[in-house]
Amino acid sequence: MSVPVFRFAPSPNGELHLGHAFSALLNLAMAAESGGRLLLRIEDIDIERSTKRFEEGIYRDLAWLGVRWETPVRRQSEHFADYAAALDELIRDDLVYPAFMSRGEVRDQIAAMERRGRRWPRDPDGVPLYPGVDRTLAPSERRRRVAAGEPFAWRLDTAAALSSLGRTLYWSEFTGEAMTASMEIEARPQDWGDVVLARRDVPTSYHLSVVVDDAVQGVSRVVRGRDLHAATGVQRLLQELLGLPVPAYFHHRLIVGADGRKLSKSFRDTGLAALREAGLTPGDVKRRLGIG
Ligand code: GLU
């Protein structure tokens, strides 16, 4: 039997906080428990917001916590060609379309509809779904606008993709850290509408690069926060469309702040570097996370 492969995949656009520490330590513990490997991946596709300083902070904070990972570390910004190749497959299969409406236009159109009393559907994160206007543009009109250099994003035609498969997709979700039991969860990519897979400024997207990388790196166990549970539906669909292997998932509890809300990169008091500078030890951090 092959050895399970885990990964911790932070984005270097802020400092790591207690939530990241929990996720990284859980990956480490689950990998150790199962005799698996642990990889680190730097998710820096957003090269505007990702910085070398934050990336170095990730290495420093993880090393301080006692997390060890295999090298070389995969940095997504060095692999745009891999994501472009995956996108090309979807373009060839006619499962994505160029969407010309800007984010501002989308927002205005939805606001106008809601002013007329129609509640527009939201995705699981509470963001209004893309209205899908560009999905029905005539091919000649599309070609004309692309040729004219109009900016656009590639969006997944989720309904077409699902009907091309003609069946419901599932993923295996571990029910606990011991990984002794799992359940099948129905993937519901339709809840997210036509997600963006690539933009002009960032020529890929979180969903596309994550499924490509998990496959390229042979990741078989994805351990991450519950905030990404619903998003797994989109990723499961992409895996199927691209013929990629499907890892098993464990979406762990989220570490919340004193106010009960999810931690964000702007909460200074839960940043690992700040806690270290305030004199806390890795043991103190683990105790605070309830894993000491
Ligand atoms: N890069 C993502 C984040 O920082 C995590 C992606 C994942 O684990 O799939 O939230």
Give the pair of three-digit tokens for residue 43.
């998710």
Q: Could you read off the pLDDT of 102-122 as tens digits, one per residue?
A: 889 999 999 999 999 989 999
How far are the Cα atoms of 76, 96, 215 from residue 90, in angstroms, in the given order?
A: 20, 6, 17
Q: Is 223 in the pocket of ligand 1 (CB under 6 A)?
A: no
Interval between CA 8 and ligand 1 midpoint (Å): 8
Q: How many angstroms does the Cα of residue 31 sit away from the middle of ligand 1? A: 18
Closest atom of ligand 1 relative to the 7 alpha carbon: 8
Strand order from edge to edge, sheet including 221-225: 70-75, 37-42, 5-8, 221-225, 248-252, 170-174, 182-186
pLDDT at 267 over 70: no
Mean pLDDT of 152-178: 97
- Nearest atom of ligand 1 to the alpha carbon of 23: 8
What integer best gives the mean pLDDT of the chain?
A: 95
State pLDDT tens for residues 213-244.
Answer: 999 999 999 999 999 999 999 999 999 999 99
Contact 31, 247 (CB under 8 A): no
- Please list, in sequence order, all residues whose beta carbon lies within 8 angstroms of the beta carbon of residue 126, skipping any fewer than 6 positions away: none
For 118, how many CA atoms within 13 A lie in the half-sphere containing its CB?
10
Judge whether residue 101 has pLDDT over 80.
Answer: yes
pLDDT of residue 270: 86
- What residues does each domain of the chain span? 1-78+256-292
Please tell me which residue, 270 or 211, carries the higher pLDDT value: 211
pLDDT of residue 264: 65
Measured from the CB, is residue 225 less than 6 Å from ligand 1? no
pLDDT of amino acid 118 = 87
CA dist., res. 49 & res. 62, Å (int) = 21
Is-contact 154 98, C-beta < 8 A?
yes
Kindly report which listed range (4-8, 217-221, 260-264, 283-287) carries the lowest average pLDDT score: 260-264
Spell out the residues 6+ positions from residue 281 whose beta carbon is closer than 8 angstroms to its own: none
Q: Is 16 a pocket residue for ligand 1 (Cβ < 6 Å)?
A: no
Gap from CA of 111 to ligand 1 centroid (Å): 30
The CATH fold assigned to 1-78+256-292 is Rossmann fold (3.40.50)
Asked if residue 1 has pLDDT above 70, the reply is no
Q: Is pLDDT above 70 for 198?
A: yes
pLDDT band at 281 (very low <50, low <70, confident <90, very high): very high
